[in-house]
A and B are shown apart, each in its own frame.
Chain A
Amino acid sequence: MQMNEPDALFGATRRIGPVILDLQHISLSFGGVKALTDISFDVRQHEIRAIIGPNGAGKSSMLNVINGVYRPQQGDIIYRGEHRKNMDCYAAAKSGIARTFQNIALFKGMTVLDNIMTGRNLKMKSNFLLQAIYWGPARREEIEHRKKAEEIIDFLEIQAIRKTPVGRLPYGLQKRVELGRALAAEPEILLLDEPMAGMNVEEKQDMCRFILDVNDQFGTTIVLIEHDMGVVMDISDRVVVLDYGKKIGDGTPDEVRGNQDVINAYLGTSH
């Protein structure tokens, strides 16, 4: 991986593919609270799809539905042509959906490296007895995955904190490590929940670059929740807007920017 080389990036071409994930008429409520009401939208291969909306609109809940943390009461999820009523976490992970969380959900007691290695767990095959003996295949496997993890560490420029327990890291770095953990799974779809919260502009720029590179380089499809409109408008291909659990807009950044409902509900007049 040589993403640090700008030339490599100029050459890459982004090709938006067919719909890979289609959400149809999703409704989700908790007791009396309606978090999502009849929401449908789709995600195409290779695209960067943003979800925006005011606080409590149901954005995070949407991601939770996509990867099976929440089970919607209604609706259909079609992922790679397969219909399902809902996902379950394990199946989602297995089929290539990885994510980051709004309230950082790193494993606090583990080092950065270990956290990133956990992202590769689904790719590890040797059983626990072999691992206990740590000989032969288990050892080779561990080293091979360690290499991948190190590539990600290099990519995210967090070499220096490799062996630091994540609990000690400042907020912004934790966000980056979490991205690393998701990337380690080499996902097909990457769900990012406010990856740039708590970062300054410079760090956001870096993060954007990471996201764009992942998208370019691996063709990873990205679903992104972000409150920084600058970021959303600059890097996403299409944007869904939610408000009070309802979809109020969907389209290219420019379309959304012009949508009066969206302006009223979310963007305000200053944008």
Chain B
Amino acid sequence: MFYRETGQFKTSYEADGQILPIRQDRVALLATLAVALLALPLLASPYMLSAIFIPFLIFALAALGLNILTGYAGQLSLGTAAFMAVGAFASYNFVLRIPGIPLLLAFVLGGLCAAMVGIAFGLPSLRIRGFYLAASTLATQFFVVWCLTKIGWLTNYSSSGVITAQKMEILGYAFDTPARKYVLVLVVVALMALLAKNLVRSNVGRSWMAVRDMDVAAEVIGFRLMRTKLLAFAVSSFYCGVAGALYAYAYLGTVEPEAYNLDLSFRILFMIIIGGVGSILGAFLGSAFIVLLPVFLNILAHGLALPTSVASNLELMVFGALIIFFLIVEPHGLARLWQIGKEKLRLWPFPH
């Protein structure tokens, strides 16, 4: 009974087109944001901030990027980490080689570099579809990491190909504590999530979904496949690129190209599938799931006092089993579960 939209009538299309048409949702979101931005940096422990919230947000951003490509535009990609790597290494080089460049600008430029790589590797998607395309995107993954290890200039000729992210400073203000880093990441991610939400609910988003659902029909209606797909690749890679830069700057610090390996690509993919393909909220839920579950299982296994090798393997098995379980319960991911939950609440206490 407490989740009702009764009495809330939309008097204009503008109101109806809002991101969250129901007042309760709006209030809840704003409250969450306020807590995340104001309370958490003060209250949460540095551990929570630097080991949970920061990676959670960064991965959510990358998942958002992948979701644009896979969830909205329907192009399954296994090369997310490569785009992240491009973003990170490009940002590093911008900061290194253009003295005094504002950090955020470097991130944006890094993202743009990733977008360009994305466009280049997106070109084949005009002809190749489905799993054929997915497997082909591995080319991106391996090629980009290979380039980063081979081309010394990109890593400033460091002997081992490792880069060290420069200090984060914006307008003279150093983002060096977990809380500060967290706030920076949060603001970037929240803003970019908003932009993404805007995109997917406007014509661009519809063009992506149309191409995803039925590309021939989309063409007949007047969407141009090439432009639409490449734009999806570009925007998605941009998001991943920025996420990759944040991953390097706000999380890892010192990075080798290997940090952006296939494993990472897969983790991001899990996030969107567990969270919900084609849902902005899903990227966040999925990221939370993938970041938190292993930690949770790990703590649980400790509590059971199992021998560590048994515990570790059990952890992995439970993780795999849970993925399957969630897919069976709801193939459309946590975001859909959430939605169904709300629909049920709306009907509650009457079953139907």
Contact = CB atoms under 8 A, between A and B. Distances in A.
B346 to A, nearest CB: 14
B328 interface: no
Interface residues of A, number: 39
A118 B202 contact: no
Contact of A89 (B198, B210, B214, B219): B219
Interface string B220-256: 1111100000010001000000000000000000000
Contacts of A90: 219, 222, 224
Interface in B181-222: 195-196, 198-199, 202-204, 206-207, 209-210, 212-214, 216-222
Main secondary structure of the interface of B (DSSP, over half): helix
A110 B199 contact: no
Nearest to B74: A109
A232 B170 CA distance: 70
A212 B218 CA distance: 26
A3 interface: no
Given A69-B216, A99-B220, A181-B221, A121 B198 contact: no
B202 A131 contact: yes
B235 to A, nearest CB: 8
Interface string A138-152: 110011001100100
Contacts of B216: 69, 105
Given A93-B222, A105-B214, A121-B207, A146 B17 contact: yes
Contacts, number: 97
B86 to A, nearest CB: 21
Contact of B212 (A92, A98, A109): A109
A27 interface: no
Given A105-B217, A132-B195, A150-B13, A122 B202 contact: no
30 contacts: A69-B220, A89-B220, A93-B220, A93-B221, A98-B221, A101-B217, A105-B217, A105-B220, A106-B213, A106-B214, A108-B214, A110-B206, A110-B213, A118-B218, A118-B221, A119-B221, A121-B222, A128-B199, A131-B199, A132-B195, A132-B199, A133-B198, A139-B14, A142-B17, A142-B202, A143-B13, A143-B14, A147-B13, A150-B13, A185-B222
